[in-house]
A and B are shown apart, each in its own frame.
Chain A
Amino acid sequence: MTRRVAIVGVGLTSPRPVTPEVSYREMIYDAAVRAYDDAGVAPKDIDAFTCCSEDLTEGTSIFDEYTPDQLGAAQKPVHTICGDGIHGILAAWMQVKTGLLDVVVVEAHSKASNLLTKDHVLHYAMDPIYNRPLGYSPQAIAGMEMRRWLHESGNTVEDCAAVVVKNRANALQNPGGAHAAQLTVEDVLRSEKTFDPLTHLQAAGFSDGACVFVLASEERAARMKGRPIWIAGGGWCNDTPWIENREWGRAIYAEKSAAMAYKQAGVRSPAKEIDLFEIDDSYAFKELQHMEALDLCRKGESGRMTRLGETAAGSDLPVNLSGGSLGLGLLLDAAGAFRAAEVVTQLRGEAGRRQVEDARRGLAMGWRGVPTASGAVVILEN
């Protein structure tokens, strides 16, 4: 029953803020070819495909219609998950674990640059009766949540700014770091106020990119050319969609997702047993909130640790070495996929200048952004 499943191939395009010369299909094709080459498979060797997308961000209804061709998946079992890339990985993981399918591909992409009015589109995610008529930007929810969380946890805005400084500097070591920058805490705090206490630089900018994974059963993975990276555990959870009913000071979706994944992977003290973390930082405070939800430190300590460099490159608890969403750019529902891809790269020892020494186990965590309270966690090991 506990069939082991590995990621045997990864392909991604380099995140970029605008990509006017390629369509999403061309981007996905590019990522797919790299992933298949990485795993040494051809489309004929693949049993099923899972894609991640949402209609309104694509500007096309029933977007799953447009998923198969660029993956070589026409006339194959293909379905879409309306979720983060990590939800997609976990859906494919389950498919292989059933024993019915041996090789399953996951695809997630972002063509955020096609969205000319992002806040307007996001506004349609608000409850149409209770919230949408109020006409405020959904980003305001992040501002309110941040204020409540800072109040309850005792962290400060300066701590959040330190996250931005760290992640955008980390991105300087990543060829895909589209939003890499050398900043100071003052730069972040002095940037334009958006939804107080958020400032402009505390929210990730956007990027386009595509990411494809090949997953395989243990038996098939053994016959493939790449080094398998095993899925040791996965978890996902939705808190209430009603913003009025949430505990604004907690990320329950992250707590429960992590608890589920830790249980499967047999992890008791994550900070000690996991070597690197790629966790959602679409707003700077979210990285800190998620660190605490994932039990990486005691409540209220995430900010201090970040300021002291205890989550920086070279530390015992590296968080978002890739640069995270602040450094790579927010890749919509592909964001989690890029986090998982970084973990795979690290566990293979292929992360170049940002390589963690002797990395054995890593965790990737995604959040679907405002106004959702929906997240997913995957733990990988080599």
Chain B
Amino acid sequence: MGLRRVAVIGAGMTKFMRRAQDTAQELSFQATKMCLDQAGVKIDQVDSVVHGTAPDAFDGVHMKGEHLSGGSGGHQKPYMRGYVGGGTGVFAPIQGWYHIASGLFDTCLVVCEEKMSSCQPHPQGAFLTIFDHTTERPLGPNLLWIFALEMNRYMSTYGIDIKDIARVSVKNKKNAMGHPCAQLGENLTVEDVLASEVMAWPVHRLMVSPTSDGACAVLLAAEDVARRLCDKPVWIEGVGWNLDTSYWTNRDLAYPRYVENAAKMAYRMAGIKEPRKEINIVEPYDPFAYKELHHLEGLQFCKRGEAPRMTADGVTARDGDLPVCPSGGLLGVGNPIAAAGAMKIAELFWQLRGEAGARQVPGTPRRGLAQAWGDLMQVGTVVVMGV
């Protein structure tokens, strides 16, 4: 039985930055309105709504999905909040996909929002509560520490030079200079990155994405509706998601097996055999510079330990053979967790329609991949889109 085809037919996003003056519902509303306006669709034409947002502890709002429904068009509609931590931004569109592919709905509005500035003095405080209450929380760990462990393991396993990791920051922050919603677009050198403050060795400040507030929305539609409402729908060709064990201390951090599993699920659905040849743009999750490389390997774009080489050779530059994070990624555009993942879906929508302006990759890209990651270095979510 063939799957029902689903397309992205609209996208909208707010500027990513500290937005203490806007409430979380207002951010959701802004992105929702931009998305619907761009698609030329009224909220009454939307059959169902999916909301993605990460920990309630950021806003200090219990059942945050219920709270946000007023801003994201969920009023008196079938509305669900899906959740896979940092992977949520790419998962929410997958959830939207299954709403439509199930045959239950013809349209689904997918809204992702995050507001981290409410969490004082710093959102890292909220992350103290993601660890195992018995075995880990008493140690007071934070994300920088565990990602430093993973980065160290990645570097030492494959003999990677930290300069090659710094290049990812340079590339993405430069790419972000072309993004009107970007928080940290900047022209930097590898030396600048390595001269920045060490947060937890080997993680330097400029290798870390910023905390942000923002929202991003995409509108999905079934094939017949998409063709009627949109001149150039971008099809969701493959979806995959995968969650590894909670016991992150028990796995080899050098390689994200769960990302590989998610990618293979999406490739199977999309009929992709050789991702490196069949995919033209990649938007992997890059909250830390090394993660882009780690994920490129998990996504099967190169052999293990070889992603730094691709970056050094310019293959992943915007005008390279395989543009990676042409948006500017989380390092450049910003990281309002769930919204940042959805931003990658929106970027593919604009790139594949040739509407990415200053960020447009050369040629006529036919297919792109967006991926997010999250939880305790544990979840991979993958969407393959094509025209």
Contact = CB atoms under 8 A, between A and B. Distances in A.
A257 to B, nearest CB: 8
B76 A75 contact: no
A59 B133 contact: yes
A64 B338 CA distance: 14
Interface string A77-96: 11111110001000101110
The size class of the interface chain A forms with chain B is: 35 or more
B178 to A, nearest CB: 32
Interface string B61-101: 11111111110001111111111111000010001011101
Interface string A40-77: 00000000000000111101111011111100011111
Interface in B26-63: 54-57, 59-63
A208 B2 CA distance: 42
Given A79-B241, A235-B78, A62 B69 contact: no
Given A79-B83, A81-B80, A62 B130 contact: yes
A64 B243 contact: yes
A64 B375 contact: yes
Interface in B219-257: 239-247, 257
Given A60-B133, A125-B63, A97 B103 contact: yes
Given A125-B62, A239-B76, A74 B102 contact: no
Contacts of B207: none
A241 interface: yes
B79 A374 contact: yes
B57 A374 contact: no
B243 A76 contact: yes
Contact of B79 (A56, A94, A237): A237
A238 B69 contact: yes
B80 A241 contact: no
B257 A75 contact: yes
Contacts of A76: 242-243
A65 B130 contact: yes
Given A60-B129, A69-B246, A368-B63, A83 B81 contact: yes
A66 B246 CA distance: 5
B81 A82 contact: yes
B132 interface: yes
A83 B65 CA distance: 9
A237 B77 contact: yes
A122 interface: yes
Interface in A217-235: 234-235
B80 A236 contact: yes
A61 B132 CA distance: 10
Contacts of B23: 129
B102 A93 contact: yes
Looking at B76, B86, B95, the one whose CB has the most chain A CB atoms below 10 A away is B76
B60 A74 contact: no
B372 interface: no
Nearest to B97: A98
Contact of B246 (A65, A239, A241, A256): A65
Given A77-B265, A83-B80, A239-B76, A60 B91 contact: no
B139 interface: no
A136 interface: no
Nearest to A63: B83
Contact of A98 (B3, B83, B245, B379): B3
A252 interface: yes
Given A242-B70, A368-B66, A98 B4 contact: yes
Contact of A61 (B4, B129, B244, B379): B129
B33 to A, nearest CB: 17
A108 to B, nearest CB: 14
A61 B242 contact: no
If over half of B's interface residues share one DSSP class (helix, strand or loop), that class is named, otherwise mixed; here it is mixed
Nearest to A56: B62
Contacts of A372: 63, 66
B127 interface: yes
Given A74-B244, A82-B65, A374-B79, A1 B103 contact: yes
Contact of A94 (B67, B104, B245): B104
B83 A82 contact: yes
Contacts of A95: 98, 102
Contacts of A98: 3-4, 97-98, 101-102
Interface string A159-180: 0000000000000000000000
B242 A66 contact: no
A127 B67 contact: yes
A128 interface: yes
Contacts of B265: 77
Contacts of B129: 59-61
B65 to A, nearest CB: 5
Contacts of B70: 240-242
B6 to A, nearest CB: 9
B193 interface: no
Interface string B321-349: 00000000000000000000000000000
A78 B94 CA distance: 12
Nearest to B57: A61
A79 B103 contact: no
Given A77-B243, A94-B99, A100-B101, A241 B85 contact: no
Contacts of B376: 65
A268 interface: no
Interface in B345-386: 374-376, 378-379
Looking at B54, B68, B242, B269, the one whose CB has the most chain A CB atoms below 10 A away is B242
A3 interface: yes
A305 interface: no
A182 B2 CA distance: 55
A117 interface: no
A127 B2 CA distance: 44
B272 interface: no
Given A95-B102, A125-B67, A69 B130 contact: no
A55 B58 CA distance: 11
A124 B62 contact: yes
B301 interface: no
A125 B130 contact: no
A75 B257 CA distance: 8
Looking at B3, B99, B103, B374, the one whose CB has the most chain A CB atoms below 10 A away is B103
Contacts of A64: 83-85, 243, 375, 379
5 contacts: A61-B130, A68-B244, A100-B98, A124-B61, A237-B79
Interface of A: 1-3, 54-57, 59-62, 64-69, 73-83, 87, 91, 93-95, 97-100, 121-125, 127-129, 234-242, 252-253, 256, 260, 368, 372, 374
Interface of B: 1-4, 23, 54-57, 59-70, 74-86, 91, 95, 97-99, 101-104, 126-127, 129-130, 132-133, 239-247, 257-258, 261-262, 265, 269, 374-376, 378-379
